[in-house]
Amino acid sequence: MMISRSEKFIYFSLTLILLPYLLFGGSYRYITTENGLKNNAVYVITQDSKGLMWFGTIIGLYNYDGNTIKNIPPDSELGVGTLIYSITEDSQSRLWIGTNTGLSILDLKTEKYLPFDYCTPENTHIKSAVRNVMIDSRGTAWISTMGQGIFLFDLKKGTLSQITTPDIPDNMIKHTMEGRKGNIWITTINGFLIKYNPGIKEFTVFKDDKIHKGWIGYEDMEANIWMGTAGGLFLFNKKTGHFSQKVMPLKPDGILEIKSIVEPEPGELLLATDEGLIHYNIHSGKIIIEKGESLHQPGLNDNYLHALYLDRENGLWVGTYFGGINYLSPTSSNFGLLDNIDKRLNVKVVSVFAKDSTDNLWIGTDDAGILYVNRKTGKIISFNPEKSNIKVPTYQNIHALLVDGDNLYIGMYMGGLDIYNTKTGKLKNFHQSNSVNSFSSNIYALYKDMYGIIWIGTQGGLNTYDPRIGKFHYCNELGNIDVSNIKEDTGGNLWVSTLGNGIFRLNRKTGKWKNYYPVTSDNIRITRITYICFDESRNLWIGTEENGLCRFDYKKESFTNYPLKDAPSQVVYCIIPDKNYLWISTTNGIIQFDRSSGKIKCFNMG
């Protein structure tokens, strides 16, 4: 697949600028009736063993693969309910779904519902709403119902039984969970917390007069037992059997319904409430309330929260009543858009970056000239010849930048080469021509070597510029090549990557060029090289247009291919070394590549 130059720089812009989002670690994305759901009331969220997300709403079941929302319609013949309370996967790739009409089973392989027509030895069927299904470590499904108490289903034997003991004073069961020591903790609608010890088959009931309505039980990473209620959050003392209230309603005698609890970091609890998302630190007792009406949008879009779920990457999914699903990526705080700071910039395509001696940035764009960013103050200056009196650069389509002291070299598409003195404000422009004292075509790469010579890579060949005498030179030895990047190694050898002609290396001792064409590794022939860089160990890394990464072995003069297995894209456009990592921009997000292990981590809009 060929990628146009304009497409290339759209993807370069994915590496824009790392800026902190100041609210609660990032900005939310939303899945609502506007992009796939039929109703915004989401009661439960889970992720299956294949990574697919599942959402239970008040009118049906949905799955989400990161791009597409899919509705799984209920099977009316099997009596499948539409109001989904609970979703749990078993070891046989089946979802156990608690609904308003009972229990349903969905085969993940076929996405078809299976009949659940089991009954107890007493001929009792599950006819009540099922609020929760928990499969314990012994292979037993604990089925919590509203009216029939608890049913147990042995997944190995395929048998159903019902707990009919007077030790459980409430048959309105909201939630069950298995603790770290194997005990089962049961929460009931009337505020009871019940512990079941499977070793001695004994139930113990706990109740506090302050707890009138129970919603959920939770065990944190320190094995503390918590109870989310209609009156806030309570900590249960396992030694004394007493409860202590840690999070109270926001108003005296008010209601604070806590319907879901997760722990993204040790000691940090997130609580889904009808007053927004509450952050509670179990050690300091600090409480932060995240409201849907926050001025720091994009934040939560609703305050009535039902479900919280942490996926495998520690991404936070929030099920709301009026706002659908709110998703917060674990890496969203790492990336921010410069355009969010100043909407007046009106930049669509960022093409290239250059850092000056003060650590500030010059940013070249395809459609708006150049931006200068003071990273200490956040001030942005726009140099757009189409929309300002500052006629720098000569043309707004920028594809290469090079900072050399006070001089900024600007390579343009159809605009030639600008040399802008940032101190005096003086500008020199050089147009391309067929003259030997000019450059050959549209400029896409600029590099200053150790001898002070400026190398200019164009669509029509390689050129040099000597700033001491103001002369250009065309490298006839390489001919009409499309240059993508230029670098120099510690030995002074110059490396030039091309789109279609492999890589060229200039041996400074002999003055001779060597062409690696095609670049070969493991029977893979690579001709289109998008980027080259040296890591901190001076290894040469090569970005390709269709085959991921390659590394050059100086001793063997051979290449090793790294196909970026499982990455969403093999098209590499920029590589930045960072200690033991390489940061790689692609056509589908950014990749962090571990040079030691070869493992990758992907960051994209999903």
- pLDDT tens digit sequence for 127-184: 999 999 999 999 999 999 999 999 999 999 999 999 988 889 999 999 999 999 999 9
Q: Give residue 530's pLDDT.
A: 94
Please, are residues 173 and 150 in contact by the beta-carbon 8 Å criterion? yes
Query: What value does the mean pLDDT take over residues 400-429?
Result: 93
Instruction: Tell me the pLDDT of the chain averaged across its residues.
Output: 88
Query: What value does the mean pLDDT take over residues 189-211?
Result: 95
Asked if the model's pLDDT at residue 6 lies above 50, the reply is: no
What is the pLDDT confidence band of residue 296, given thresholds at 50, 70 and 90?
very low
Who has greater pLDDT, 88 or 603? 88
- pLDDT tens digit sequence for 520-552: 877 788 899 999 999 988 899 999 988 889 999
Asked if the model's pLDDT at residue 404 lies above 50, the reply is: yes
- pLDDT tens digit sequence for 332-358: 655 555 554 445 566 777 889 999 998
Three-state secondary-structure class, residue 123? coil
Query: What value does the mean pLDDT take over residues 421-438?
Result: 83
Q: Give residue 255's pLDDT.
A: 87
What is the pLDDT confidence band of residue 271, given thresholds at 50, 70 and 90?
very high
DSSP assignments along 332-400, one per residue? GGG-B-GGGT-GGG----EEEEEE-TTS-EEEEESSS-EEEE-TTT--EEEE-TTTSS---SSSS-EEE
- pLDDT tens digit sequence for 451-479: 999 999 999 999 999 999 999 999 999 99
Q: Rounded to two decimals, what is the model's pTM?
A: 0.60
Pairing of strands 214-219, 558-562: unpaired
- Rounded to whole angstroms, the Cα distance separating 281 from 404 reads 50
Asked if the model's pLDDT at residue 438 lies above 80, the reply is: no
Three-state secondary-structure class, residue 76? helix
Report which DSSP code applies to 251.
S
Asked if the model's pLDDT at residue 10 lies above 50, the reply is: no
Q: Give residue 571's pLDDT.
A: 87
Q: Give residue 5's pLDDT.
A: 46
Query: What value does the mean pLDDT take over residues 258-273?
Result: 96
Query: In this structure, what token pair is assigned to residue 310?
Result: 């942490």
For residue 251, give every residue at least 6 positions away whose Cβ sits within 8 Å of its Cβ, in sequence order, or none: none
Query: In this structure, what token pair is assigned to residue 149?
Result: 């108490």
Please, are residues 369 and 382 in contact by the beta-carbon 8 Å criterion? yes
- Rounded to whole angstroms, the Cα distance separating 562 from 548 reads 6
Please, are residues 54 and 45 in contact by the beta-carbon 8 Å criterion? yes
Please, are residues 471 and 485 in contact by the beta-carbon 8 Å criterion? no
Q: Give residue 466's pLDDT.
A: 95
593 strand-pairing partners:
582, 600
Asked if the model's pLDDT at residue 24 lies above 50, the reply is: no
